[in-house]
Structure 1
Amino acid sequence: MESPIWKEREELLTSVPGAGKKTAQALIAELPELGEANREEIAKLVGLAPLNRDSGTYRGKRTTWGGRTAVRSSLYMAALSATRFNDKISAFYHRLMDRGKAQKVALVAAMRKLLVMLNTMVKNGTKWNPDLHTSSS
């Protein structure tokens, strides 16, 4: 990370509990739209937005798929870590589990929440502040 802009982004991203250096580097390298897209767009780019499988009158399932694999893989590991060490993500994850959601479903929701938080932080140029990020969905 030679560029001062990249270094600044890396510092912002690694300030979040659960997001380490490798996650930050993957996001910076594979997702140049980070900080410029809104929450729906960034989720679609990474493949964390539910897509429907409808045809005519048939209503299929809504699943998350596609997107940038390297970013999604990095976010998966970051979300696993965040469910243990980030109070906000952990509370969100456990609330979904208590509602009866499957473990993978809750983890993908935590991945999306983490991605939206990281995107907003880069957009605003602010470091992690647990008081600013609510645990509500």
Structure 2
Amino acid sequence: MLDTQIRNLERRIDSVIAQEEASAVKARLLLSIPGIGPVSAAMPIAELPELGRITSSEAAAMTGLAPIPHDSGALRGKRAIAGGRRALRRVLFQTALAAACHNPVLKPVAQSLKMRGKPHKLVIVAIARRLIIIANAILKTGAPWQAQPRR
């Protein structure tokens, strides 16, 4: 009986150690994305452990960055974000502010949206959505960030 309990405890300890190593690998992958720092790399790992195993639209919805249509009443035709994991969305919003200036792929996207006259908050939410999609793809593939040349 005591041997079984000890073996179970050792298995649990091994699984926790493996999770920590996996978290460290995930953090290194996320830190390779320009605009993502230590806090914004840790939050998705802690708040969205499914990241890397879900689709991009599921990742956006779980963070509350998916546009939800409100086609009746005063908001006809407008899209709003809601739901999801609020703490993660707040961190991604702050991260998007940095990424809009420093990420070589997302900076032109932000500038294009601004040139088209989109409101500042919409631009930042669009960048945050793209960031979580990029993070999901990087964790899925296990390959660090590489800026693709424009075609």
Kindly indicate which of the two structures has a greater share of residues assigned to helix.
2
Residue 81 of structure 1: aligned partner: 98
Normalising by structure 1, what TM-score?
A: 0.89
Residue 126 of structure 2: aligned partner: 109
- Give CA-to-partner distance per residue, 1:19-47, whole Å, 9 cap, x none: 01101111100001100110111111001
Residue 35 of structure 2: aligned partner: 18
Alignment of 1:91 onto 2:112:
no
Shift >4 Å, 4+ stretches: none
Larger Rg: 2
Distance in 2, matches of 1:7 and 1:128, equals 16
Q: Which residue of the other structure, out of 71, 75, 78, is the alignment partner of 2:88?
A: 71
Q: What is the SS of the residue equivalent to 1:87?
A: coil
Normalising by structure 2, what TM-score?
A: 0.81
Distance in 2, matches of 1:128 and 1:10, equals 12
Alignment of 1:35 onto 2:58:
no
Aligned residues with identical type, % of pairs: 38
Q: What is the SS of the residue equivalent to 2:105?
A: helix
**Structure 1 position 59, deviation (Å):** 4.8
Indicate the RMSD between aligned Cα atoms, in angstroms.
2.2
Alignment of 1:8 onto 2:19:
no
- Given residue 37 of structure 1, which amino acid in structure 2 is its aligned partner? I
Unaligned runs of 5+ in 1: none
- Give CA-to-partner distance per residue, 1:103-124, whole Å, 9 cap, x none: 1111100000111001000000
Unaligned runs of 5+ in 2: 1-16
Distance 1:12 1:62, change over 3 A: same
Distance in 2, matches of 1:53 and 1:96, equals 22
How many corresponding residue pairs?
133
Distance in 2, matches of 1:60 and 1:95, equals 22
- Give CA-to-partner distance per residue, 1:68-119, whole Å, 9 cap, x none: 0111011111111111111111111001111111111111000001110010
- Given residue 48 of structure 1, which amino acid in structure 2 is its aligned partner? L
